[in-house]
Amino acid sequence: MMVPESKKSRHAGWPRMNLPLVIFVIAIVVRAVFLLAMLFFHEGSSPEVMFPDTTKYIDAADFLFGRNETGEYQLLLVGPGYPVFLGLLMTIFGQSYSIVLMIQIVLSAATAACLAAVARLLYNNRLLAFLTGLIAALSLTSISLAAALLSDTLLLFLFVFSVYLCFRGIQEDRRTLLTVAGLLGGLSILVRSVALFLPPLVIIFAFLAPASWRSPSRRTFINSVLVAAIMILIPLVWAGRNVARHDIFTVAETGPGAARLFLAGKVLHTARERPPHEYRAFRDSLYAATVPNIESGRYKKLHDETRAFIFSTIQKYPGLFLRTYLATVLGNATAISALHNIQLPHLANLFDRFDRNFNPGHKNPLILLLTLIGSVLLIRKNARPTLMLLGIIICFAAASGVTFGQGSRIYFPAQTAWPIMVAASFIFFYDLGGLILRSLTILAKRPAR
């Protein structure tokens, strides 16, 4: 039911407005209102105390910029991307976290606009592009993360723009765009190492590019390898620094650490048949065992112990480990936003009542269901770009399986792709509803025999 603009359809007359600009304005207004409400509710207190991960980023930023000597482990843990972002802004504006949040809402709004541009580029449908951008602009997860001192907004901004420039570079055979895409993609890996799967995906993109995009295949392949190499080289420099300083080849230790405490910890807790309510205390005991190594600076020893712990858990309970991992992936893909309850405490009761009625267990499978439906619809219309987007979703979903308990934040990077598929589902059901209504109207007007 959804067709490109080049063909006649009832969607072809969609207003010829500047869609990215409209989406940007909507997104920035919504985020600005949310931020002002949050700052009002938290007047007299600092927003950095709201989330535990925030203090890690601030400590790492202070260590990088010589303002403390205690944030070295936090820097190893989270990587340099967001601490550099924070540190630079605090150097320019002082300890004004509100300025950081204002800049983040601009980045978040720009990301929503770019997602609309991605949808337009891939499917040449303005209505699909508008709905994609609108979904991203009104995403409660995106809105709340933009108002939090966390790395997620910066990650998605860099990742989405990298993907967009990569698609355009392949389509237009422009190596300059591809080079910039490589730089942004490499920086996104420094912000969150979860983006490490992007370089191999870029090469896959080159092979999946629609025939109408394709330049001579050899040049397309060479360009994609160049982009992937740039993306790998940037975090490789930081990993080399960690080897020289800590004897650890890693961009960030967050992923393995989370896999030890959450995934492997959950497996061991379940295997011992302990009550679910005791898991938190068990997880805390696993963390307590790592503290002596952290405090004494034995990061290499902790690194080796963490991997040994994870692999030994897999060897002991392979089936349970796989089931727990897959259940965690599904849980994260259906988790609802959780940060806004803390950011807007005066509305917490209203949010709680809504969740009890519509999001039991703080889960809602609707977005995942619409994503699956939309992917089927889009594959039927244009398989190659849809497979590219599905690759992004699958990779981020797979990466989410190592940790849980943070609501939709863990699955948030998949917003690079799923709003496009959800938008396709909305258009399909709208068209289907219109078709059914017209059919009923015709039947009602038909004279009885």
Q: What is the tens place of the pLDDT at every residue in 131-140?
A: 999 999 999 9
Q: State the DSSP code for 70.
A: S
Q: Smallest Cα–Cα separation from 333: which of 399, 276, 257?
A: 399
CA distance 23 to 132: 9
Q: Which residues, listed in sequence order, are joined to residue 212 by a DSSP beta bridge?
A: none
Q: Count other C-beta atoms under 10 Å from residue 176's C-beta.
A: 10
pLDDT at residue 6, rounded to an integer: 44
- The residue type found at 6 is S
pLDDT at residue 259, rounded to an integer: 95
- Residue 335: helix, strand or coil by DSSP? strand
CA 351 and chain centroid, separation: 23
CA distance 372 to 412: 17
CA distance 293 to 115: 43
Structure tokens at 295: 């405090």
Reported in sequence order, the residue ranges of 346-429 that DSSP labels E, i.e. its strands, are none
Res. 199 pLDDT band, cuts 50 70 90: very high
* Burial of 251: CB neighbours in 10 Å, binned 0-12, 13-18, 19+: buried
Q: Smallest Cα–Cα separation from 261: which of 385, 416, 438, 405?
A: 405
Indicate yes or no: pTM above 0.75: yes
* Burial of 76: CB neighbours in 10 Å, binned 0-12, 13-18, 19+: buried
Categorise residue 9: left if φ over 0, alpha if ψ from -120 to 50, beta otherwise. beta
Q: Is the pLDDT of residue 216 over 70?
A: no
Q: What is the tens place of the pLDDT at every residue in 74-130?
A: 999 999 999 999 999 999 988 788 899 999 999 999 999 999 999 999 999 999 999
Name the strand (E) or helix (H) holding 367.
Answer: helix 366-381
The stretch 376-391 carries a mean pLDDT of 92
Q: Where are the alpha helices (DSSP H) in 124-151?
A: 126-137, 140-146
Give the mean pLDDT of the chain: 90
Q: Dmax of the chain from CA atoms?
A: 91
CA distance 35 to 144: 8
CA distance 120 to 129: 5
Q: Report in angstroms the alpha-carbon separations of 80 from 125, 300, 304, 306, 399.
A: 38, 18, 21, 21, 20
Q: What is the tens place of the pLDDT at every residue in 436-448?
A: 888 888 887 777 6
Measured at the CA of 357, the angle between CA 353 and CA 361, to 5 degrees, comes to 95
Q: Smallest Cα–Cα separation from 59: which of 34, 35, 76, 41?
A: 76
pLDDT at residue 196, rounded to an integer: 93
Q: Smallest Cα–Cα separation from 248: which of 294, 191, 299?
A: 299
pLDDT at residue 448, rounded to an integer: 60
CA distance 25 to 29: 6
* Burial of 49: CB neighbours in 10 Å, binned 0-12, 13-18, 19+: exposed
What residue has token string 């190592």?
402
Q: Taking the alpha carbons of 433, 435, 439, 442 in that order, is the dihedral positive or negative? A: positive
Q: Which residues, listed in sequence order, are joined to residue 335 by a DSSP beta bridge?
A: 363
Q: What is the tens place of the pLDDT at every residue in 297-347?
A: 999 999 999 999 999 999 999 999 999 999 999 999 999 998 988 888 888
Name the strand (E) or helix (H) holding 377.
Answer: helix 366-381
Structure tokens at 124: 């040449």
Higher pLDDT, 428 or 220: 428
